Chains A and B, each alone.
Chain A
């Protein structure tokens, strides 16, 4: 396992604890219209941490898909930002013009999920193509539900990435819409594209990390994309892996019990702070809807709902001279 396992474990512990805020957020009814489940899956955090992170726009890129916010936290997102997204605040990264997972920050390597399953594999294939064209030591990571493989769009994106040997790592979450996906399902798909495949399930963190790190290394070496199937975890207790991981980090990876407590306290304080701030922040202003849709100003029509004509309005000037040309 590359790097310092203990330091990485500390990071994952922190991300996991941060990620727990969403359950609290949803359970508290604060996300009344968000209404969508967010995945609390330790494995995605561990996998996302295997990529190369940066805050200057020079690191890897990740689309967390339906597994947000875990991988987003690993890429530097904060609970407050994500809460603002969910709460439709004008201060949200997407300024309330887009939803929780639709949040792009290229400097930190985040690309928001927009479109049906498969879309982001297409987009991240193009991101990876750009990395390859420039000869950069960068790769793209995309999380998709396994059901995406039932769409033509996903296969088009995967096919393009494979044909271009683009540095792309695709994680397929078989816990979601997986049908009969199981051991070997990703291998069968990968064979069709001539790319590498792996399957993870309840592996310990270092193995999850290593699987993605290996895929990333192959990708940036020009050996093309990889598929990683993530088989369902224990559905009865979504925290089981979380707790097991924390225990592992504490007992085996060298993160001391005291350190875990300190991380928990810091994370808890961070989340409390986020909720406190969120409550004080106003909803987005209505005028925020009117930002340009293009990079230049797009004139609004003369009459809009905001500037209705006055009663009795007439054109302000009569035609001059040429009205009756014949």
Chain B
């Protein structure tokens, strides 16, 4: 084990701001230091340090038994993570890109998610990796995968929007006794506006609790991930029209913090849901239904959504920009709602 720490895990120790990616690295490092049962598995995460260098230097420090370079077989090593979790270990599985989680869909939904219910015990596994578009990655390196798993009881899904949340939520996910899908928008990894000083103590953010990213009284925007930042930009534009927007950052999609959404809608009477995932079968539909069940009496307008269009993520920059929800889209929908 080497004594020199990789630079991406020392920002907070040195009192310096950390990027979103460094926050992820710090969370992994600290949890591995804290709990010897935690180990990492994934493609090229060892000597190569992972596709985005999150785990650069981890192999030297923690050794091969805890930093496992896997074959390119997402189903196989996710299944193996289940076995290791049965035996009391706490595997953190990295998908090089979350688009590649689909080969592991079977074992995640049929075996891992059902384990506790079947009486086979809890399986504390985190499956984490980069998601999202805007990087010209095309259809196979840009997807958001949350809704492929959202309807599977037994799973949790986390999708942070800030560096502090990324660190705190990932630490919580690793400590959680349930399987957690942890999505990291690659557009936030090194984004300058996401660089921030992280709490120096053992920073843990509970799963299942949304946060109010901006307070307002005229319109609620419920969103998560990169779209939190787009929504805040839109809110700033709308503020020039004297529209006070409340932005709810879900942080955790499953379990969904329904109470936070309802409370905000009871205050504003208007709800706009913004997500980068495609429209049909997106989480907006579920949120709208829950508001229909619990806060119909408080609504002063239709529930609207701004999402990606229903297509694969296109490769061309021009096409992808059209595909993704923009600040202008959010502003347009927001204006429509407040004037409804």
Give A contacts to B, CB under 8 Å.
93-95, 97-98, 102-104, 106, 111-112, 114-116, 119, 122-131, 133, 140, 152-153, 155-157, 159-161, 163-164, 291-295, 298-299, 301-303, 314-315, 318-319, 322-326
Residue of B nearest to A126 (CB): B83
A189 CB → nearest B CB, Å:
15
User: Does B116 sit at the interface, judged by CB under 8 A?
Assistant: yes
User: Does B281 sit at the interface, judged by CB under 8 A?
Assistant: no
Q: Which of A126, A295, A314 contacts B122 (CB 8 A)?
A: A295
Residue of A nearest to B117 (CB): A293
Q: Are A129 and B83 in contact (CB under 8 A)?
A: yes
Q: Are B116 and A293 in contact (CB under 8 A)?
A: yes
Q: Which chain A residues lie closer than 8 Å to B296 at the CB level?
A: 315
Residue of B nearest to A316 (CB): B297
User: In the complex, how many residues of chain B place their beta carbon closer than 8 angstroms to a beta carbon of chain A?
Assistant: 59
B83 CB → nearest A CB, Å:
3
Given A156-B73, A302-B294, A127:B107 Cβ within 8 A? no
Q: Which chain A residues lie closer than 8 Å to B255 at the CB level?
A: 294, 298-299
Q: Which of B39, B82, B119, B338 contacts A97 (CB 8 A)?
A: B119
Given A102-B118, A130-B89, A319:B269 Cβ within 8 A? yes
Mark each residue of chain B from 75 to 92: 1 if its CB lies under 8 Å from any CB of chain A, else 0: 111111111111111010
Q: Are A114 and B114 in contact (CB under 8 A)?
A: yes
Q: Are B217 and A160 in contact (CB under 8 A)?
A: no
Q: Which chain A residues lie closer than 8 Å to B81 at the CB level?
A: 126
User: Does B106 sit at the interface, judged by CB under 8 A?
Assistant: yes
Looking at B17-25, B64-72, B184-192, B224-232, the stretch in contact with chain A turns out to be: B64-72
Q: Are B297 and A314 in contact (CB under 8 A)?
A: yes
Given A119-B106, A123-B86, A156:B75 Cβ within 8 A? yes
Q: Which chain B residues lie closer than 8 Å to A124 at the CB level?
A: 83
Given A115-B107, A126-B84, A127-B83, A326:B218 Cβ within 8 A? yes
Q: In whole angstroms, how far apart are the Cα atoms of A106 and B156 in the complex?
A: 24
User: Does B268 sit at the interface, judged by CB under 8 A?
Assistant: yes
Given A127-B87, A301-B293, A323-B269, A156:B110 Cβ within 8 A? no
Inter-chain contact count A-B, CB under 8 Å?
A: 176
Q: In whole angstroms, how far apart are the Cα atoms of A197 and B290 in the complex?
A: 56
Q: Which chain A residues lie closer than 8 Å to B176 at the CB level?
A: 295
Q: Are B293 and A115 in contact (CB under 8 A)?
A: no
Q: Please, could you name 23 A-B residue pairs with CB atoms under 8 Å apart, sorted by A?
A: A104-B119, A106-B87, A114-B110, A119-B106, A122-B78, A122-B83, A127-B84, A127-B86, A128-B83, A130-B86, A133-B65, A155-B76, A159-B71, A160-B77, A293-B153, A301-B293, A315-B295, A315-B297, A325-B218, A325-B268, A325-B269, A326-B218, A326-B338
Q: Are A115 and B106 in contact (CB under 8 A)?
A: yes
Q: Are B86 and A111 in contact (CB under 8 A)?
A: yes
User: Does B30 sit at the interface, judged by CB under 8 A?
Assistant: no
Residue of B nearest to A158 (CB): B76
User: Does B300 sit at the interface, judged by CB under 8 A?
Assistant: yes
Given A102-B118, A133-B65, A160-B70, A293:B154 Cβ within 8 A? yes
Pick from A95, A119, A152, A324 the residue with the most CB of B within 10 Å. A119
Q: Are A129 and B118 in contact (CB under 8 A)?
A: no
Closest CB pairs A-B (n = 10)? A156-B76, A126-B83, A122-B79, A126-B80, A130-B87, A104-B120, A156-B73, A127-B83, A315-B297, A98-B118
Given A98-B118, A98-B119, A295-B178, A318:B88 Cβ within 8 A? no
Q: In whole angstroms, how far apart are the Cα atoms of A112 and B82 in the complex?
A: 13
